[in-house]
């Protein structure tokens, strides 16, 4: 029987995906990767889903790669091929999060370490419990930050903090993570899921297409010059301006009523 390594529940237009290997702090096995990717694909394909929350069961969010998982073995039976695991598992996961048609919120309920930390940081918004912490655990086992960590960390908090976090592998408490701009919000432990759900519900009522294109434009702008970013903004606005939700937003504003956004 297949174990439910990722639990999926739906509340209104919000899909919540819960990593479910609490005994190993929800660390990633090949099987959990497969279930998570399938669950994200299902949320992306379901027109009724307008926001996604990812969280962890038990006391941890995710401790990165399960260091006991045979998935680490090379396909030819040789020694561990970490690069193959990254290519087969973490690259598709990171790209899937970044290409979701709806916002993805990480509700970090406890420790987020290694690829578990960068999986959370790659989501659109991160809400963390006050007792949670972020650990770039890689240096402790002689690896570099992966699952997008090298790209994300410098952009989120600048090189000085990025390299300090990556080299020391020290735990960054959630409160400090919010203070330095690594995450959106730190809340009391008991308020975590309500806060994440309130944020997700709010985003779900907003124009999904514009939110997804906002993510795309911000990511692309990091690699464009000013003129290139201005050109991309014009191109995306042209497309958005022709879509239903722009007309609806303007009509609702002029009609002094609440908008009903449906594009995705």
* Least distance in angstroms from the C-beta of 21 to ligand T3D: 9
Taking the least distance from each CB to ligand T3D, the nearer of 19 and 25 is: 25
Closest CB to ligand T3D among 79 and 255? 79
Rounded-to-integer distance, Cα 126 and Cα 108, Å: 7
DSSP string over 206-245 = S-HHHHHHHHHHHHHHTTS-HHHHHHHHHHHHHHHHTSHH
Residues that bind ligand T3D (CB under 6 A): 24-25, 27, 63-68, 72, 82, 85-86, 111, 113-115, 135, 137-138, 141, 143, 146
> Minimum Å distance from CB 202 to ligand T3D?
31
For ligand T3D, the closer of residues 67 and 191 by Cβ is 67
Residue 190 Cβ vs ligand T3D, minimum distance, rounded to whole Å: 20
Q: At what angle do helices 226-241 and 208-221 cross, to 10 degrees?
A: 170
- The CB-of-158 to ligand T3D minimum distance in angstroms stands at 23
Q: Which is nearer to ligand T3D, 115 or 199 (CB)?
A: 115
Q: How far apart are CA 77 and CA 18, in angstroms?
A: 32
Q: Given the complex with ligand T3D, which of 146 and 245 has the nearer CB atom?
A: 146
**Closest distance between ligand T3D and the C-beta of residue 144, in Å?**
10
Least distance from C-beta 2 to ligand T3D, angstroms?
A: 20
Find the Cα–Cα–Cα–Cα dihedral 39, 41, 46, 47, rounded to 10°.
140
CA-based nearest residue to 182, from 114, 137, 123, 223: 123
Q: Closer to ligand T3D at the Cβ: 39 or 111? A: 111
DSSP 158-214: HHHHHHHHHHH--EEEHHHHHHTTSSSEEE-GGGHHHHHHHHHHHHHTS-HHHHHHH
Rounded Cα distance, 55 and 51, in Å: 13
């Amino acid at each position: 029987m297949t174990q439910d390594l990722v639990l999926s529940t739906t509340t209104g237009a919000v899909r919540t995906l819960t990593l479910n290997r609490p005994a190993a702090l929800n660390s990633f096995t090949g099987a959990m990767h497969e279930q998570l990717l399938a669950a994200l694909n299902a949320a992306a394909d379901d027109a009724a889903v307008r926001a996604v929350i990812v969280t962890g069961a038990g006391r941890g969010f995710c401790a990165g790669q399960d260091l006991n998982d045979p998935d680490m073995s090379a396909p030819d039976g040789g020694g561990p091929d970490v690069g193959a695991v990254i290519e087969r598992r973490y690259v598709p996961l990171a790209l899937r999060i970044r290409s979701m048609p709806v916002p993805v919120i990480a509700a970090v309920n406890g420790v987020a370490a290694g690829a578990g930390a960068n999986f959370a940081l790659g989501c659109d918004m991160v809400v963390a419990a006050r007792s949670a912490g972020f650990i770039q655990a890689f240096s402790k086992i002689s690896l570099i930050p992966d699952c997008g960590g090298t790209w994300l960390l410098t952009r989120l908090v600048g090189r000085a903090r990025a390299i300090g976090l990556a080299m020391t592998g020290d735990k960054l408490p959630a409160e400090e993570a919010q203070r330095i701009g690594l995450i959106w919000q730190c809340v009391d432990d008991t308020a975590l899921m309500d806060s994440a759900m309130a944020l997700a519900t709010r985003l779900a009522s907003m124009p999904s297409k514009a939110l997804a294109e906002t993510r795309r434009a911000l990511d692309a702008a990091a690699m464009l010059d000013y003129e290139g970013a201005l050109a991309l903004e014009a191109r995306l606005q042209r497309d958005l301006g022709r879509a239903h939700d722009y007309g609806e937003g303007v009509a609702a504003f002029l009609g002094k009523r609440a908008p009903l956004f449906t594009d995705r």
